[in-house]
């Protein structure tokens, strides 16, 4: 889940046992163009405070007004649809006559929030089932390809874990890449067996690993929410990581270097037990071609490409309802 939605759940936990009624609002359907995708969340208090977004600002004002004027139920969850007519869509600022539907859920008990945040912190993928009529909530382990579903009576949402980024090499470019990725709520792992590089690594909030890159990839239990980037400029270290990374479920595997150097790298990888389709997964040269030269620019190019690949993967796994076109 992204950092915005994680912040929503944390705020919901903080507010749930306070003096103000609190609601969790989730986008469940979109029709036409929509500013936010299915699954986007907003937590809202009766005094108008809110965290998150369900429409990029289009309908938040109306929801805040309803909360302040006691128009939102505190006993059961309800569904509310905006933009049914072209006039209403224009009134709420929805683009292209789009329509979106949200479930508005009063938070009566924070127990499930404690549990779901704990599970997300353990990098577990969690499915949450909400029965609208009586607010019954059940948590269970989610399948990797499970997505939000809603049948009008029960809402099932999927949460966590945060995306992970394993960077091979603790150099200058890695520093910028780690800092930028942290802003997008990636959990950062730095692998470098070279003590002289680990000693000067100073990005707080990251996990520094001293093992050999191939061993680290295997020990991390890499999943489809993991990206792996090799940045040491040392083929012996980068290739070791790539040999295991390209066989893993990682959604993105990249290596720094020129086009020529990466062609030579592919030739070397072909000498090992990698299939052609596995080698073809390698993004090398890594990142978007924005003619970057400096370490910060290279980091921007890498992270931009990771975002692009990630969002394409999410879109491919999303099941839009009623033939809607969801814009992330």
- Of 116, 138, 159, the position where a domain reaches its end is 159
Please provide residue 12's backbone torsions phi and psi, each rounded to the nearest 5 degrees.
-60, -40
For 172-205, write each residue's pLDDT tens digit: 999 999 999 998 878 899 999 999 999 999 999 8
Residue 73 in any domain: the answer is yes
My answer on whether 308 and 218 are in the same domain is: yes
Residue 325 lies in a domain: no
Mean pLDDT, rounded, for 34-49: 89
Residue 29 has pLDDT above 60, yes or no: yes
With vertex at residue 209, the alpha carbon angle to CA 272 and CA 302, rounded to the nearest 5 degrees, is 70
Tell me: do 183 and 49 sit in the same domain: no
pLDDT (mean) for 156-183:
92
Banded model confidence at residue 44, pLDDT cuts 50, 70, 90: very high
Same structural domain, 186 and 228: yes
Residues 8 and 112 in one domain: yes
Average model confidence (pLDDT) for the chain?
88
Domain membership flag for residue 327: no
Residue at a domain's end among 159, 190, 213: 159
Q: Cα–Cα–Cα angle for 247, 248, 254, nearest 5°?
A: 85
Output the pLDDT for position 133: 94
CA distance 310 to 119: 22
**Tens of pLDDT, residues 231-258:** 998 999 999 999 999 999 999 999 999 9
Residue that finishes a domain, picked among 111, 132, 159: 159
Same domain, 76 and 185: no
* Residue showing tokens 């569904």: 79
Give 127-140 pLDDT, tens digit per residue.
999 999 999 999 99
Range of the domain at 66: 3-159
Helices (H), the chain: 3-16, 60-68, 86-91, 111-121, 172-183, 195-199, 213-219, 235-245, 259-269, 276-279, 295-317
3-state helix, strand, coil in the chain (%, to 5): 35, 25, 40
Q: Are residues 18 and 154 in the same domain?
A: yes
Quick check: is 225 in a domain? yes
Q: How confident is the model at residue 315 (pLDDT cuts 50, 70, 90)?
A: confident
Asked if residue 211 and residue 102 are part of one domain, the reply reads no
Flag the least confident range among 49-63, 216-230, 276-290: 49-63
Q: Are residues 150 and 171 in the same domain?
A: no
Q: Is residue 132 domain-shared with residue 253, that is, in the same domain?
A: no
Is the pLDDT at 160 greater than 60, yes or no? Answer: yes
| CATH classification of the domain holding 233 | 3.40.50.720
Which among 86-90, 96-100, 146-150, 216-220 has the top mean pLDDT?
Answer: 216-220
- Position 99 confidence tier, pLDDT thresholds 50, 70, 90: confident
Residue 320 domain-assigned? no
Per-residue confidence (pLDDT) for residue 32, from 0 to 100:
66
The answer on 293 and 169 residing in a single domain is yes
Tokens of 93: 């600022």
Domain identity same for 138 and 225: no
Structural domain includes residue 115: yes
Is the per-residue pLDDT at 319 higher than 80?
A: no
The pLDDT, as a whole number, for residue 55 is: 84
- The domain tally of the chain equals 2
Within a domain: 318: no
- The verdict on 190 and 124 lying in the same domain is no
* Per-residue model confidence (pLDDT) at position 271: 95
210 in Cβ contact with 198 (< 8 Å): yes
Residue 232 counted as domain residue? yes
User: What is the average per-residue pLDDT within 291-318?
Assistant: 90
Question: How far is the C-alpha of 262 from the C-alpha of 254, rounded, in Å?
Answer: 10
Per-residue model confidence (pLDDT) at position 176: 97
Answer whether 165's CB lies under 8 Å from 129's CB: no
């Amino acid at each position: 889940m992204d950092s915005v939605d994680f912040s929503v759940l944390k705020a919901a936990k903080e507010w749930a046992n306070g003096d103000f009624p609190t609601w969790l609002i989730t986008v469940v359907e979109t029709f036409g163009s929509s500013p936010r995708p299915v699954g986007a969340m907003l937590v809202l208090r009766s005094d108008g405070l809110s965290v998150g977004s369900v429409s990029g600002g289009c309908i938040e004002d109306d929801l805040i007004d309803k909360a302040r004027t006691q128009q939102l139920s505190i006993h059961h969850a309800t569904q509310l649809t905006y933009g049914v007519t072209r006039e209403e869509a224009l009134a709420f600022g929805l683009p292209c006559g789009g329509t979106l539907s949200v479930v508005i859920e009063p938070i009566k008990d924070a127990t499930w929030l404690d549990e779901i945040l704990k599970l997300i912190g353990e990098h577990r993928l969690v499915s949450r089932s909400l029965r609208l009529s009586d607010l019954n909530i059940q948590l269970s382990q989610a399948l990797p390809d499970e997505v939000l579903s809603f049948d009008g009576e029960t809402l099932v949402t999927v949460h966590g874990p945060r995306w992970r980024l394993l960077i091979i090499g603790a150099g200058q470019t890695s520093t910028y890449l780690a800092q930028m990725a942290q802003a997008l709520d990636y959990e950062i792992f730095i692998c470098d067996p070279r003590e002289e590089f680990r000693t000067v690594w100073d990005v707080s909030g990251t996990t520094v690993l001293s093992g050999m890159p191939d061993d680290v990839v295997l020990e991390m239990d890499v999943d489809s929410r993991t990206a792996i980037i090799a940045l040491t400029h040392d083929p012996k270290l980068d290739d070791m990581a790539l040999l295991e990374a390209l066989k893993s479920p990682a959604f993105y595997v990249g290596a720094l270097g020129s086009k020529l150097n990466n062609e030579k790298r592919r030739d070397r990888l072909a000498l090992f037990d990698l299939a052609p389709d596995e080698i073809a997964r390698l993004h090398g040269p890594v990142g978007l071609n924005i003619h970057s030269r400096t370490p910060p620019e290279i980091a921007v190019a890498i992270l931009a490409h990771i975002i692009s690949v990630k969002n394409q993967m999410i879109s491919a796994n999303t099941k839009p309802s009623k033939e809607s076109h969801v814009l992330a």
